[in-house]
A and B are shown apart, each in its own frame.
Chain A
Amino acid sequence: MAEGWRHSERAFPWRRSLWIAALLTPALLVMVLFVLWPLLSAFRFAFYEFNGLRPSGFIGLENFRQVLFEKPYSDWTWNAFKHNVIAFLALMLFENGTAFLIAFALLKALPGHRIHQVIVFLPVVLSAVIVGFLWKLFLHPLFGLVNQLLGLVGIGAIPWLGNENTALGSILFANIWHWLGFPTLVLLAGMQRISKDVLEAARLDGAGDYALMTKIVWPLIAPSVTIVTILTFIGSFNWFEIPYVMAGLTGSPGGSTDVLGLYFYRTAFGSTTTGIQDFGQGSALAVLMFVFVAGVTAIALRYLRRREIEQ
C-alpha cells in the first residue's frame, strides 16, 4: 500500500501538494474572510473620516491624533489604558500568584486534592456573562449576598459597583474568581512535568517547602509561566465581557471601570443612549490596541523564552 503511494507520488509529484492545498483551502478562506479581511478593513478605516456611517474622506493620521492627544478623547483613551494596565498587574499578582500557590498545594497531593482541583476549575466552564451577572447580584448594595453578610457584623450597604474606589476592584475580583482555575491547571501541569528525582533529591538535601517552591519548582516551570503571562497580558488588554456586564458600556461609575475594549466598542458602534457611531476613531483605537498587544507580546515572548533556556 505504502509502496503504491510512494510510486504514485513519484509519478505525479504535484498530487501531494494539490492534496495539501485542498485540505488547507477551507481553513485559509475562513481565516482570510473573518480575520484578515476585517483586520485590513480596520487598518483602512482608521485613516478615513466618517460622515454618518460611510467613509467620507482620507484624513491620514488624524483619527490617531485625536484618540491619543485631543481632549476629551485622549483622556478617555489613557484612562481606559490605565485600567487595562491595572488589570494586568492585578491579575498577574492576585490571580496567577494564587494559582501558583494552589497548584503547588495540589502538587503535594494532600487528601482531597482531586475534589479541590475540580472546584477550582469549575467556574472556568461558566460563561463570562453568567459570572458577571452572578457577581453583580452578589454585590448589589441592598440585596446582595456580600452586603447581607457584612450587615451581620454591622457594616452598612456598600455600593461596590457604584463607588469609583471599589468598582474596578470588584470587577477584577469577579474575573479572578472566574479564571483562577485556568492558570492553576497550566502551572500544575508544568509542576507535574518536573522529574520526581529532582524533587526527592532536593528533599534529601534538606530543602523545605519554601526552598522547594522558590529554588526548584519556580525555575523549572518557566515554560508554563511564559504561557500564563502571555495569555494574561492578551486577556487584560482585550478585556470586555465582565466589565460590560457588570459596569455597562460606559465603564461606570464615571469611567472608573472603563477599559480599551469598552471604549473601542462604544466609539465604533455607538450606543442608543450616548451617541453616534464613529468607525474611523474606533478603527484607530483597534489598530493601536492590536499594535500594542502584538508588539509587547512579541518582545515578552522573546524575553521569556530566553529565560526558559537560561533556567
Chain B
Amino acid sequence: MSRRRIGLALAAASFAWGFATSLAHATDISFWTWRQEDKAAYNELFADFTKANPDIHVKFESFPDENYPTIVSTALAGGKGGDVIHTHAYGWLEQFVKAGYFEPLDMATVPSLANQPADALVSGTYRADKRVYSLPFASQTLGLFINKDVFAKAGLTPPTTWDEFITVSKAMKEKGIYPLANGMGTSWFNEMFVAIFTNPFLGQDFVSDLTSGKTTFKDPRYVAALGKLLELRPYMPEGFEGIDYETAGQLFLSGKAAMLAGGSFDIATYRSQNPAINMDFVAPPLAKAGDTPQATKFFDGGYAVNSKSANKEAALKLVKWMGTKEFGDKFSALLGNISPIKGVVIKDELLSHVAKLNETAMPHINVVYFRFEKPTGSELLQGDITKMMSGSITPDQLAADLTDGLAKWYKPFQGK
C-alpha cells in the first residue's frame, strides 16, 4: 500500500471516529404532547433548536387527547415519560406538581420566564409554593366566528350588542340560514359556550367579587346572565340539544350558519378545512352599546420538565428556548396560535385581531379558578347546562348546584 493510500485510510478513519464521537455525545430527548396535528410544525421548531444546540435532538411523541392525562400520569408514576411534557394548565397541572413529577422552573435555569406576562405565568404556577412548573405556550380566546360572505349575501351587518344579535338572528332565520351554528352535544364546549355569552353580562367586577369571596354563583348577575342563554335557543339549529361542536363547525364552514361561538384554537383548522372561508372572529355581543368588548381568555397549558428525566439539563435548555421570542414568533406563524411571549409579532390579520381582543378579555372563570379540586366547576357546569338549556332546570338551580358543589372545597362559598 502506498503512503498516499495509508494517509487516506487514516484520514477516513479519524473522520469516522470523530463523527461517531460526536454522535455518542449527542443527547436525545423526547417531547410528549396530545397535539398530534402539530407534529410537522413542532419538528420544524425542534430542527431550529438543534441547529442552535447541535448536541441535543428532540423527538416528538404524541398521544390521544382524551387519554393523555392517564398516559402521562401512568408513565410519570413509573419514573418514565417524556423529558419535556406538554401540559394543560391550572388544576390539571397542579395534580402532577403535587405528586412531584415536574421540575420547578426559575430564572436561573429558564431565564426566558421573564418574557411571560403575569397572567400567563399564573397558569403554570403551583398555588402552594408559588413556583412556576410549566412555561405557558399559548393563550386561547373565546368569541364569535362570523361568516362574512353569509352576512354580505343576506345584506346584514354582524351584531355588536345583544339586542342587535337578536334582531340579526331573526332576520337570518327568516332567510333560511341558521343564525348560530352551535348545539349542546359536546360537553367540554358547552362550558365554553356559557363563558362566551355570559362574560359580557358579568364583567370584571363580578370576577373580582367571586374570587375575593364577596359573592357566589348564586349572585343575581350570574343567574341573569345564564337566563340570557335561554334566549339563544330559537336561533340555534333544530335539535340543537344533540348537535356537537364538530357539526356546528361544519354548518358554519359550509355557509349554512352565519355565526359560531368558538375558540381561536380552531382558526387554523377552519382555514385548512375551507381555505376559501371569508371569516372574522369578534367579541361576543355586548350587554349594551358602549361596553368594553369582552371575549374570554385562558392559557391552554405549557411545557414542563420531567423531574425524573435522565437528561434534565438538555430538557431545561429546550424549555428555556421555548420561552424566547424567536420560538414564539415562529410558533404563532406555524400553528396559528397566540404565543404569550412578550414582543411576539403576529403577522396574520385575523390572529392579530384576536390578540387585540385579548387586551380587554375576561378570564374563563371555571378554567382559571375552579378546576383545582373535586368536584370541579367544570364537572358541575357541564352536567347542568344541558339540563338548563332543555328546560328541565332553571338558571337559579344551576347557579345553586354550582355554588353548593364548589363549596365542598372552595372555602369562600361555604355556608353561603
Q: Is B92 at the interface (CB under 8 A from chain A)? A: yes
Q: Is A223 at the interface (CB under 8 A from chain B)? A: no
Among A72, A143, A160, the one with the most B-chain Cβ atoms within 10 Å of its Cβ is A72
* A163 touching B243, Cβ below 8 Å: no
Cβ–Cβ < 8 Å partners of A51 in chain B: 98
Report which of B99, B191, B386, B390 forms a contact with A53, defined as CB distance below 8 A.
Answer: B99
With contacts A269-B69, A275-B379 known, is A52 near B242, CB below 8 A? no
Among A51, A161, A273, the one with the most B-chain Cβ atoms within 10 Å of its Cβ is A273
Cβ–Cβ < 8 Å partners of B387 in chain A: 164, 253-254
* B183 touching A272, Cβ below 8 Å: no
CB interface residues, A 223-257, toward B, < 8 Å:
248-250, 252-255
Q: Is A127 at the interface (CB under 8 A from chain B)? A: no
Chain B: interface residue count, which band? 35 or more
* B91 touching A157, Cβ below 8 Å: no
Docked CA distance A19–B383 (Å): 57
Q: Mark A40-80, 1 if CB is under 8 A from B, else 0.
A: 00000000000111100000000000000001110000000
Q: Is B320 at the interface (CB under 8 A from chain A)? A: no
- Minimum Cβ distance to chain B for residue A145 (Å): 14
* A254 touching B240, Cβ below 8 Å: no
* A274 touching B247, Cβ below 8 Å: no
CB interface residues, B 251-296, toward A, < 8 Å:
251
Q: Is A190 at the interface (CB under 8 A from chain B)? A: no
Docked CA distance A161–B378 (Å): 21
Docked CA distance A7–B91 (Å): 70
- Minimum Cβ distance to chain B for residue A248 (Å): 6
Cβ–Cβ < 8 Å partners of A54 in chain B: 77, 98-100
Q: Is B384 at the interface (CB under 8 A from chain A)? A: yes
Q: Which residue of B lies closest to A279 (CB)?
A: B73
* A158 touching B239, Cβ below 8 Å: yes
Q: Mark B375-413, 1 if CB is under 8 A from A, else 0.
A: 110111011101100101000000001001100000000
Q: Which residue of A lies closest to B68 (CB)?
A: A272
* B184 touching A253, Cβ below 8 Å: yes
Q: Is A156 at the interface (CB under 8 A from chain B)? A: yes
With contacts A72-B380, A252-B185, A276-B92 known, is A53 near B238, CB below 8 A? no
A-side interface mostly = loop
Q: Is A271 at the interface (CB under 8 A from chain B)? A: yes
Q: Is A219 at the interface (CB under 8 A from chain B)? A: no
Q: Mark B350-378, 1 if CB is under 8 A from A, else 0.
A: 00000000000000000000011111101
Docked CA distance A249–B101 (Å): 26
Report which of A52, A73, A158, A254 forms a contact with B95, defined as CB distance below 8 A.
Answer: A52
Q: Which residue of B lies closest to A269 (CB)?
A: B70
* A270 touching B69, Cβ below 8 Å: yes
Report which of A161, A252, A255, A275 forms a contact with B91, defined as CB distance below 8 A.
Answer: A275
- Minimum Cβ distance to chain A for residue B167 (Å): 25
- In the assembled complex, 20 residue pairs joining A and B whose CB atoms fall closer than 8 Å, in A order, are A51-B98, A53-B77, A54-B77, A73-B375, A141-B237, A141-B239, A141-B240, A142-B237, A142-B239, A143-B247, A157-B238, A162-B390, A163-B241, A164-B386, A252-B185, A272-B68, A272-B92, A273-B187, A275-B374, A277-B69
Starting from the known contacts A53-B99, A162-B185, A275-B91, 5 additional A-B residue pairs (CB-CB under 8 Å) come to A52-B95, A157-B239, A162-B243, A254-B386, A254-B392
Nearest first, the 6 A-B pairs at minimum CB distance are: A52-B98, A162-B242, A141-B239, A159-B242, A162-B241, A275-B376
Binding site for A on B (CB under 8 A): 34, 65-70, 73, 76-77, 88, 91-92, 94-101, 183-188, 191, 237-243, 247, 251, 371-376, 378-380, 382-384, 386-387, 390, 392, 401, 404-405
